[in-house]
Amino acid sequence: MTYIRSEIIGHGHYTPKKVLTNDDMAKIVDTNDEWITTRTGIKARCVVETEVNSDLSYKAAMMAIKNANISAEDIDLVVLATVTPDYTTPATAIKVANMLGVKSGTPAFDLSAACSGFVYALTMADNMVRLGQIKTALVIGAETLSKITDWTDRNTCVLFGDGAGAVVIRACEGKGDATDTGILASKIYSDGAHFDNLRTTGGVSVSQNAGFVMMDGKEVFKYAIGALAQGAEEAMKIAGITAEDIDFLLPHQANIRIIEGVGKKLELPEEKVIVNIAGHGNTSAASIPLALSEKMEDSTIKKGDLVVLTSMGAGFTWGGIVVRI
């Protein structure tokens, strides 16, 4: 019996040209390179000047479409994970689909699950592929977090950056075991008991504006390693593999201490844990596809590699995906 899987056939990423180093941040708030580097692993972050979310999404998506060697007309679904859309409505995914030349009638929507947005979006798209509803999907994670950053709050403003990443997935046939190519398993979670630990100060329905990010960093930190490990472990259990089998763990890039903590919890050697936080900071829904695309582009991650994506963010939301590239 054949088994339908979703194979990643294209990757893309894009970051704005303007870079703010830690020394630049020290000119904005009372901070310094040593504090930011040792507490977070972040050295610099990219921020938009005139670009908006759809510009970043479009550029990452164009690269993914080219890399997949398909035409925009082949795409049956566009999902854009973000908490910083161009407009409240319509969805930025619809604008991006139109910019790309995706055919009229193609479903497109935004998905809001904060830093877990891409893992949620890829899970949704994979499910539609496996149900036979679509063949090819474009899944994007893109953020302009600089627009909801409180640039007077040193506790948060040093942490975030802007960027986008994208993948094209397409239906392929497998045997139904862990030797298959494509997405082998996924598991997503949320727990609203932590709603107030990491959220914006307002929102459309509450304050008629988007608000700014506020966070109880210590609470988030306490929860993050366990949640990231659980997302990875449960997805691996469903896929019928263990941490020993994987080539790479790609955790959400929020803090180097959290990333290293998850690697240790899963007993993975350092070289198997993907890290790109130094140049980007936390780009929320863009974090995983941005790192995935960068590492596929420089051939760190190669065809046939078994990769576990794991994320955790506001909500809290968290989850994991096992994918053979």
Q: Which residues are catalytic?
A: 115, 252, 282
Torsion of CA 72, 78, 80, 81, to 10 degrees: -130
Q: Residue 97: which residues within 8 A CB-CB, separation 6 or more? A: 75, 78, 106, 108, 138
SS3 253: coil
Residue from the set 218, 267, 269, 299 that interacts with ligand COA by CB under 6 A: 218
SS3 146: helix
- The nearer residue to ligand COA, 115 or 246, going by C-beta atoms, is 115
Instruction: Return the range that interacts with ligand COA (CB under 6 A); candidates 16-24, 36-44, 67-75, 118-126.
Output: 36-44
| Binding of residue 37 to ligand COA (CB under 6 A) | no
Residue from the set 92, 255, 293, 317 that interacts with ligand COA by CB under 6 A: 255
| Binding of residue 35 to ligand COA (CB under 6 A) | yes
Smallest distance from ligand COA to CB 33, Å: 10
Residue from the set 158, 168, 249, 286 that interacts with ligand COA by CB under 6 A: 158
Residues 185 and 91: their CA atoms lie apart, in Å, by 28
Residue from the set 86, 202, 221, 279 that interacts with ligand COA by CB under 6 A: 221
Answer left, alpha or beta for residue 205, where phi above 0 means left and psi between -120 and 50 means alpha: alpha
Smallest distance from ligand COA to CB 221, Å: 4
Residue from the set 6, 15, 22, 31 that interacts with ligand COA by CB under 6 A: 31
Of the CA atoms within 13 Å of residue 240, those in its CB half-sphere come to 6
Q: Kindly give the interhelix angle for 287-297 and 117-130, rounded to the nearest 10 degrees.
A: 70
Task: Summarize as ranges the residues that interact with ligand COA (CB under 6 A).
Answer: 31, 35-36, 39-40, 115, 154-155, 158, 215, 217-218, 220-221, 224, 254-255, 258, 282, 312-313
